[in-house]
A = this chain, B = another copy of it.
Amino acid sequence: MAMIEFSVVPIGTKSASVSQYVAQAINIVKKYEGQIQYELTPMGTIIEGDLDLGMEIVMKVHKDLFSDEVKRVVTNIKIDDRRDKDLTLAGKMKSVMEKIK
């Protein structure tokens, strides 16, 4: 089980607003509900689940963004992969919360 955070930024879109592209990304991620957990943050999307499946989803989102209007996409991905114990979205938060004064 790994955790993958990613964000996609289309370049050369005329408008400074990119929320429609984020929505397009989430609509793809949502199709995998049941197989992975995901969370939308104000700065990206976090997927928790099998590493290969997670990366397959991220790459699908990246490729799906290209269109007649979008000719360039910059995608940032951060993988946090821990194999000595399970990483879960809830577990990571809980572990930090317990240590905050």
Contact = CB atoms under 8 A, between A and B. Distances in A.
Contacts of A100: 23, 26-27, 30
B42 A46 contact: yes
A66 B7 CA distance: 22
A60 B30 CA distance: 27
Interface residues of A, number: 56
* Most chain B Cβ neighbours within 10 Å, of A26, A55, A75, A100: A100
Given A59-B55, A81-B62, A82-B16, A93 B9 contact: no
Interface of A: 3, 5, 7, 9, 11-20, 22-23, 26-27, 30, 39-44, 46, 48, 51-52, 55, 59, 62-63, 66, 71-84, 89, 92-93, 95-96, 99-101
